[in-house]
Structure 1
Amino acid sequence: MLNVRVISPSDRTDAALTLLHGDAGATLITVQRGAAVEPAGDLIECVVARESADDVLTALTELGITRRGSIALREVDTLLSEVAEEAVESAPAPTSDSVVWQELVAQTGEAATLTPSFLAFITIACLLAVVGVATDSAVTIVGAMVVGPEFGPLAATAVALVRKDFRLAAHSALALLVGFPFAMGIAWPATLLFDYWGWISPDSLDHLRNVDFIYKVGPFSMVVALLAGAAGMLAIMTPKSAALVGVFISVTTIPAAGFAVVAATMGEWHKAFMSIGQLAVNMVGIVAAGTIVLWLRPRHMVRGGSLDRLRRWWLSDNA
């Protein structure tokens, strides 16, 4: 379940309470009149079953609360309440299978934003990949996979395609189109230094045993990307953080970028282009799988229920 905390303008509080009372999935509703100072208003808190959350949040947003107040969500890990259990049972489907679109858009949007920390993480991951290739160390390659932040923009791209959110799509594209070249640009002089110091040589790329999978594109490359993309999107939606870590370890996006830098620096252009191909296959597969998973989920709130009737009644009376 989700804890919903609303700062409501005073002239919207009664309507918000009516909407919450009209949804069977919302319970443990409390209100503190005049409790909010900035912005001024009332504080409303309640617990909402995940299946009902999308309808509730959409209804509250249509009341104009987000323009003059706020809505905050927090996952409830433990809740001892028979009343809350009844609310969960009243939801039309199992709560673990529901999608809270506002939450999903907010999470992926934040992960897709190009920030200094994003550039730092993707650069560190690419440098780790370079070291992993230079030392033929699968462990270091796995470390690069875990550190890499690229799944966020890829997941956001899938959300943007389903929601037709061009702003989110633009942010995701910017993060990927700037992040990867930036990281590879930093990794290139580092590779030159490793070559100058004698830590890596062209011959070393011919004797790889543990990390040669990075540049070898095969039918399983797309299969793994599709499975990882589907699992990653499900992990974000549910949410299951442990599963998401497994997704990071499954795909070879950052390692492929690092391998391409090393191969190009060593003059192994064939392997460099194969690495770029591996990178492209993984990115396309992740986005495609994430999009398919989202399309298979409910995308629109159910119209015609008591909550929808109450919302339409309020909007018609306050038009």
Structure 2
Amino acid sequence: MLSLRISVPADLTDDVLAVLEGADQVTGLAVMRGASVIPPGDVVTADVAREGANPVIEALRGLGVHREGAIRVEPVETWLSRPAFDAEAEAPGASADAVVWTEVGNRAYADSELNWTYTTFMVLATLIAGIAIVLDSPILVIGAMVLGPEFGPIAALGVALVRRKGQLFAIAARTLVLGFLAGMAATFVAGVAGRVFGWVTYEDIVGERPNTAFIYTPDRWSFIVAVIAAAAGVLSVTSARTGGLSGVFISVTTVPAAANVSLGAAFAAWHEVTGSLAQLGLNLTGMAVAGWATLALQRAVWSRVPARRVTMLRRRPVVGRPPE
């Protein structure tokens, strides 16, 4: 269930109410006349079943509410309402499967913003990955992979391709490239400093590293894991079930590969550089393509759900225990 709070100019209020009253998925509709100061007008609140939210939000956007006022969409974790239960039962598909495109789009833009926080996390993650390579420590590799924030813009690339948003694609690609360059530059400088002070030797970089050799030796399994992990990550994002994201971060070797490129360059170990660049490119490509394919499949499947759902409802009663 989602809660809508709409600040709307008074001259649009009746049109907004007509849209909400005409949607079977909407319950708990209320209007507070004159309650909005900016913009001057009214405040309308309503509850809407998550799986029926997209057409309602698009209809409100069609009225221009978002240009002159505001539409706030918030998840409702706990609720008790027989009308709301009936609205969810009648809505197409299942709530857990519903993709609210406005929610996904907003998150994609937010996660793709190039700011000091994103850049700092990328630098710190890459530095930790560099230390993991020197120490041949798989635990530190995992830590660096979890710390890295790169999945946000990678997922945004898929959203941009599916929704045909060129601006979002450019923002996400810029953030991804500049973030990796910042992390790699910092690790390169740290590698040169370690070489000068004698803390890191050439043998530490090119010697036998059984626990971290996968960082610079890409193969078909690297691509397959990247595809599966990205698909799982996109599902976590679109369903608002972020618990699976940690597993996604741990599964794909992006930040450690970038760190190995920097250390290899610092010590002129070019075979390390080429192998790690191949690993990085393979993983990023696999994740971007898988993210796009997952979102495209979700959109295609969801577009066919409403008619099928209505047919099923006609044949059998709604399964589930309504609130007393």
Q: Same fold (TM over 0.5)?
A: yes
Paired amino acid for 2:297: L
Alignment partner, residue 312 of structure 1: none
The 2-side partners of 1:122 and 1:130 are apart by 12
CA distance in 1, matches of 2:74, 2:128: 34
Q: Which residue of structure 2 lines up, in the alignment, with residue 154 of structure 1?
A: 154
- Could you tell me which residue of structure 2 aligns to residue 267 of structure 1? 268
Amino acid in the other structure paired with 2:228: L
Alignment of 1:245-256 (within 5 A): 245-256=246-257
Larger CA deviation: 91-100 vs 204-213: 204-213
Question: 1:296, 1:184 → 2: CA distance?
Answer: 35
The CA deviation at 1:198 is: 2.4
User: Cα distance, 1:220 vs. partner?
Assistant: 0.5
Structure 1 residues without counterparts, runs of 5 or longer: 306-319
Q: CA deviation at 1:301?
A: 7.0
Answer yes or no: is the 8 Å Cα contact 1:29–1:44 preserved in 2.
Answer: yes
Distance 2:191 2:120 in 1: 18
Distance 2:75 2:253 in 1: 31
For 1:141, give the aligned amino acid.
V
Residue identity over aligned pairs, in percent, reads: 38
SS at match of 2:199: coil
User: In the alignment, which residue of structure 2 is the partner of 1:276?
Assistant: 277
Q: Distance in 2 between matches of 1:209 and 1:199?
A: 21
SS at match of 2:30: strand
Which amino acid in 2 is paired with 1:101?
W
CA distance in 2, matches of 1:182, 1:92: 45
The match for 2:216 is 215
TM-score (norm: length of structure 1): 0.92
Instruction: Name whichever of 24-33 and 278-287 sits farther off.
Output: 24-33
Listed as ranges, the matches of 1:1-319 within 5 Å are: 1-205=1-205, 206-298=207-299
**Inter-partner Cα distance in structure 2 for 1:13 and 1:155:** 36
Q: CA deviation at 1:104?
A: 0.7
In structure 2, the residue matched to 1:316 is none
Give the AA of the match of 1:41: G
CA distance in 2, matches of 1:85, 1:135: 56
The worse-fitting range, judged by mean Cα deviation, of 262-271 and 158-167 is 262-271
Q: After TM superposition, give the deviation of residue 178 of structure 1 in Å.
A: 1.3
Q: Deviations over 1:21-78 (max 9, x none)?
A: 1111111112111111112121111111111111111000111100110011111111
Aligned-partner residue type, residue 278 of structure 1: Q
Partner Cα distance (1:28, 1:253) in 2? 46
Give the partner amino acid of 2:17: L
Deviates further, 252-261 or 196-205: 196-205
TM-score between the two structures when normalised by the length of structure 2: 0.90
Instruction: Return the offset for 1:94.
Output: 0.9
* 8 Å CA contact 1:134, 1:199 repeated in 2: no
For 1:215, give the aligned amino acid.
Answer: Y
Structure 2 residue runs without a partner (length 5+): 308-324
Q: Which runs of 4+ in 1 moved over 4 A?
A: 299-302
